[in-house]
């Protein structure tokens, strides 16, 4: 009984003591301590702290503090006297939870803040402070196991208004501002979801974020699901995140649905460009809409994106992507499909132009090399493994249309293989593989084996030019190439292989010859008939053999039409990029030779970057010499002159280009583009015709 009375007495005394302390503190005027606070701040930071307003302290089990009119001086080299000005700060924190290591923020209000963070031209920062009378030094890093983030606070009510942060980079000469117009966050209790609303202006561009998340402190403390429901808008774009994280403290059990919407990509880019200095000068994207939705989960070794739906303008993409991060390299697996991919939805007005690299430029910045000597990014091929499949109903790249695409891309330890299992190009079938092997050394090995079967050249030409240049022209293409090098230039300089293009019969619309290919095509396929609207194409061949970077066309260029036979030869040095090509035409008997044929002897020279098309002076000289002789002989001398250049006298240039023998009746002199049956060569008929025309020119 006595002990009980003693304990009751002690409790009463303690209660009276606490009450007495509270009464004394409550009656104190804390404003009298402004000078002491300023002195302590000066001693700790070397800066002047001013409190022009009142200091109000509420003493209770939920103590409160309110201060008005606070400022902190800037560094002596700063751009303005104050580093920080603050109109009002108010805080209420639960006292009892502090005894157990929990910060329970009942209320925190911050208004009228203007904070300046800046560096000078030498990189000195104004936020680096030191005790008065000492030089500023960086704070030592905590030892292992020390410091770090303590228990997360419980937030019940937070209000920020008119908070401005300005960052001035004195080295780069750039200024960026973040203005928090409002931030309101609150929760009913420590275990309740936290709702928030944030409105920010970043360099003048409005950004808004709002939503509800779970109780952060509870989620970080144990296996409590952390729900997420957030919506954000910035730069005329919106984004949403919904779902939950089962174990937030481990970042495990992620199951989130993401969404994004851009009404006009060009307008969004313009808004972002105005706010972000790093985007200034960048080419604008096209004016197109963007819609994205996906589900994101964590997996045993990484993350997975499922139910992916992406739309950009008329283009779409769907499928799944996963990344395993627990191996020697990140491993990405993607299974994608689309009904339409159109590159016009992704390339803006400024796209498509690559600046010349310095090593490839002339003195005035003019590009002199087509193949770059810059090292290939081989480390990128070795940095990740990938297994990608793509199935697309239609792919449009500029004016090129490919349908029914079934593509497999495999990257393993630096070895990349691209295999088109199927691709329909102008009704032709594309098959084969392209392999880039960078698994060892400082170079990449290239192996190309591609075939296109029964492609319609007319359809392809119309796709590329928008003009019905050719009808028909079934074409086979065979490309086999091998090379090795550390740059594109080195690869091309050591290339070996063959390119064969074999075009079959078709009908040429003469009205579009010049439009489709410019002077070169009109020189290769001249009609010389004026009134005739079409020409019949019998065949066309391009056969290029490449050995150690030297591409030879040994009579490997051929065109046969109803009006003309043309044969070309020459070479392209892929090491130096020099080229010399000659095209020798001859009119068929159905047209007869004419003076116009002389002007169609073509020579292509120069470099791949700067080709020039001109007249083949040697060919013109030979033809002119023959013409002069024809005046005196009535054309018979052309038969002898034809021996000067066999390239002008091949009745089957396509077969020659393909490396095939002429038909058994070749000795009869019948041209593949001629109806001559007189038993003599078509050159003889052409010679007589040319002789007659030249005589006619002189009135004989």
Q: Band the pLDDT of 584: cuts 50, 70, 90.
A: confident
Which tens digits make up the pLDDT trace of 553-580? 999 999 998 888 889 999 999 999 999 9
**What CA–CA distance (Å, rounded) separates 583 from 604?**
8
Say how many domains are in the chain: 2
Greater pLDDT, 467 or 472: 472
- Residue 513: predicted pLDDT: 62
**What CA–CA distance (Å, rounded) separates 112 from 160?**
9
- Residue 526: predicted pLDDT: 47
Domain containing residue 610: 495-697
**What CA–CA distance (Å, rounded) separates 569 from 524?**
13
Mean pLDDT, range 312-334, rounded to an integer: 95
- Residue 390: predicted pLDDT: 97
**What CA–CA distance (Å, rounded) separates 647 from 572?**
19
- Residue 677: predicted pLDDT: 34
pLDDT of residue 450 exceeding 60, the answer is: yes
**What CA–CA distance (Å, rounded) separates 390 from 406?**
6
Greater pLDDT, 485 or 25: 485
Q: Is 696 helix (H, G, I), strand (E, B) or coil?
A: helix
- Residue 78: predicted pLDDT: 92
**What CA–CA distance (Å, rounded) separates 197 from 179?**
14
- Residue 511: predicted pLDDT: 76
Helices 617-633 and 682-697: angle between axes, nearest 10 degrees: 80
Which of 161, 186, 211 terminates a domain? The answer is: 186
Query: Which range (178-187, 341-350, 511-520, 680-689) has the least confidence?
Result: 680-689
Q: Band the pLDDT of 597: cuts 50, 70, 90.
A: very low
Contact 673, 654 (CB under 8 A): no
Query: Which range (100-114, 273-287, 321-335, 404-418) has the least confidence?
Result: 100-114
Q: Band the pLDDT of 696: cuts 50, 70, 90.
A: very low
Contact 522, 516 (CB under 8 A): no
Q: Band the pLDDT of 16: cuts 50, 70, 90.
A: very low
- Percent share of the chain, pLDDT over 90: 46
Query: Which range (298-302, 325-329, 422-426, 530-534) has the least confidence?
Result: 530-534
Q: What is the mean pLDDT of the chain?
A: 79
Greatest pairwise CA separation for the chain in angstroms: 155
Query: Which range (165-169, 222-226, 381-385, 450-454) has the least confidence?
Result: 222-226
- Residue 346: predicted pLDDT: 86
pLDDT of residue 592 exceeding 70, the answer is: no
**Interior/surface letters 44-70, b for 16+ CB within 10 angstroms, e for the rest:** ebbbebebebebeeebeeebeebbbeb
Which tens digits make up the pLDDT trace of 375-395? 998 888 899 999 999 999 999
Could you please report the per-residue DSSP string of 309-340? EEEETTEEEEEEEEEE-SSSS-EEEEEEEES-
Which tens digits make up the pLDDT trace of 37-69? 888 888 888 899 998 988 887 766 677 788 899
Query: Which range (159-173, 242-256, 341-355) has the least confidence?
Result: 341-355
Query: Which range (77-81, 108-112, 535-539, 689-693) has the least confidence?
Result: 689-693
Please report whether residue 59 resides in a domain: yes
Phi first, then psi: give them for residue 100, nearest 5 degrees. -110, 15
Q: Is 548 helix (H, G, I), strand (E, B) or coil?
A: coil
Please report whether residue 558 resides in a domain: yes
Which tens digits make up the pLDDT trace of 269-289? 999 988 888 888 888 889 999
Please report whether residue 429 resides in a domain: no
Most confidently predicted of 59-73, 250-264, 509-523: 250-264
Please report whether residue 208 resides in a domain: no
Which tens digits make up the pLDDT trace of 673-686? 333 333 333 434 44
Burial class of residue 450 (count of CB atoms within 10 Å of its CB; 0-12, 13-18, 19+): middle
Which of 140, 165, 186 terminates a domain? The answer is: 186
Greater pLDDT, 596 or 251: 251
Q: Nearest 5 degrees, angle CA 428-CA 431-CA 437?
A: 145
Q: Which of 222, 216, 164 is nearest to 194 (CA)?
A: 216
For the chain, report the end-to-end CA distance as a whole number of angstroms: 155
Please report whether residue 571 resides in a domain: yes
- Residue 126: predicted pLDDT: 92
Which of 169, 186, 203 terminates a domain? The answer is: 186
pLDDT of residue 361 exceeding 90, the answer is: no
Please report whether residue 372 resides in a domain: no
Rg over CA atoms, the chain: 40
Q: Band the pLDDT of 638: cuts 50, 70, 90.
A: very low
Which tens digits make up the pLDDT trace of 209-239? 999 998 877 777 677 789 999 999 999 999 9
Q: Which of 180, 184, 204, 208 is nearest to 194 (CA)?
A: 184
Please report whether residue 177 resides in a domain: yes
pLDDT of residue 255 exceeding 70, the answer is: yes
**What CA–CA distance (Å, rounded) separates 660 from 460?**
27
Query: Which range (528-532, 589-593, 618-622, 624-628) has the least confidence?
Result: 624-628
Q: Nearest 5 degrees, angle CA 164-CA 168-CA 171?
A: 170
Residue 533 CA, distance from chain mean position: 45
Structure token pair of residue 39: 């002195």
Please report whether residue 110 resides in a domain: yes
Give strand pairing partners of 639.
none
pLDDT of residue 13 exceeding 80, the answer is: no
């Amino acid at each position: 009984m006595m002990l009980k009375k003693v304990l009751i007495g002690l409790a009463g005394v303690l209660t009276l003591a606490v009450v007495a302390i509270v009464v004394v503190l409550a009656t104190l005027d804390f404003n009298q301590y402004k000078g002491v606070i300023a002195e302590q701040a000066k001693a700790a930071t070397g800066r002047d702290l001013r409190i022009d307003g009142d200091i109000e302290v509420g003493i209770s089990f939920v103590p409160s503090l309110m201060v008005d009119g606070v400022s902190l001086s800037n560094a002596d080299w700063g751009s303005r006297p104050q580093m920080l000005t603050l109109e009002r700060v108010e805080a209420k924190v639960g006292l009892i939870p502090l005894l157990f290591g929990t910060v329970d923020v009942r209320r925190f209000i911050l208004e009228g803040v203007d904070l300046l963070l800046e560096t000078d031209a030498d990189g000195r920062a104004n936020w680096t402070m030191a005790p008065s009378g000492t030089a500023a030094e960086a704070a030592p890093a905590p030892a292992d196991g020390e410091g770090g983030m303590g228990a997360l606070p419980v937030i019940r009510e937070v209000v920020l208004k008119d908070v401005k942060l300005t960052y001035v980079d004195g080295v780069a000469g750039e200024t960026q501002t973040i203005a928090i117009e409002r931030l309101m966050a609150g929760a009913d209790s420590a275990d309740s979801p936290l709702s928030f609303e944030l409105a920010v202006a970043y360099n003048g561009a409005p950004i808004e974020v709002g939503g509800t998340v779970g109780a952060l402190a509870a989620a970080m403390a144990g296996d409590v699901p952390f729900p997420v429901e957030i919506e954000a808008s910035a730069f005329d774009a919106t984004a949403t995140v919904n779902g939950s994280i089962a174990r937030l403290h481990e970042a495990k059990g992620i199951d989130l649905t993401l969404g994004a919407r851009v009404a006009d990509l060009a307008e969004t880019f313009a808004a972002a460009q105005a706010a972000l200095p790093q985007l200034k000068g960048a080419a604008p994207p096209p004016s197109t809409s963007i819609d994205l939705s996906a589900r994101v989960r964590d997996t045993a070794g990484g993350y997975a994106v499922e139910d992916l739906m992406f739309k950009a303008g008329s283009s779409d993409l769907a499928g799944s992507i996963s990344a395993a991060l627990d191996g020697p390299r990140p491993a990405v697996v993607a299974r994608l499909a689309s009904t339409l991919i159109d590159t016009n939805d992704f390339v803006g007005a400024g796209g498509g132009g690559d600046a010349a690299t310095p090593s490839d430029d002339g003195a005035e910045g003019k590009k002199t090399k087509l193949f770059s000597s810059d090292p290939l990014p081989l480390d990128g091929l070795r940095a990740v493994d990938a297994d990608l499949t793509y199935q697309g109903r239609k792919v449009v790249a500029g004016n090129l249309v490919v349908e029914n695409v079934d593509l497999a891309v495999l990257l393993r330890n630096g070895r990349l293989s691209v295999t088109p299992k199927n691709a329909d190009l102008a009704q032709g079938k594309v098959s084969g593989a392209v392999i880039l092997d960078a698994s060892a050394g400082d170079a990449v090995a290239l192996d190309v084996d591609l075939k296109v079967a029964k492609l319609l050249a007319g359809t392809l030409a119309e796709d590329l030019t928008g003009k019905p240049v050719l009808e028909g022209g079934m074409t086979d293409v065979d490309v086999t190439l091998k090379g090795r090098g550390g740059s594109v230039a080195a690869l091309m300089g050591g290339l070996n292989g063959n390119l064969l293009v074999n075009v079959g019969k078709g009908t040429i619309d003469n009205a579009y010859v010049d439009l489709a290919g410019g002077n070169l095509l009109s020189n290769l396929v001249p009609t010389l008939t004026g009134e005739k609207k079409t020409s019949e194409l019998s065949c066309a061949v391009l056969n290029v053999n490449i050995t150690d970077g030297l591409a030879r066309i040994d009579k490997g260029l051929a065109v046969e039409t109803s009006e003309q036979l043309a044969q070309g030869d020459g070479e392209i040095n892929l090491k130096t990029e020099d080229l010399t090509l000659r095209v020798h035409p001859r009119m068929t008997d159905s047209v007869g030779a004419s003076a116009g044929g002389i002007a169609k002897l073509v020579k292509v020279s120069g470099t791949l970057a700067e080709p020039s098309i001109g007249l083949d002076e040697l060919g013109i000289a030979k033809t002119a010499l023959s013409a002069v002789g024809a005046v005196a002989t009535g054309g018979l001398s052309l038969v002898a002159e034809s021996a000067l250049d066999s390239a002008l006298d091949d009745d089957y240039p396509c077969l020659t280009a393909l490396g095939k023998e002429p038909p058994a009746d070749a000795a009869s002199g019948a041209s593949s583009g001629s109806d001559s049956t007189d038993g003599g060569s078509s050159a003889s008929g052409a010679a007589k015709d040319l002789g007659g025309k030249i005589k006619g020119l002189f009135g004989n």
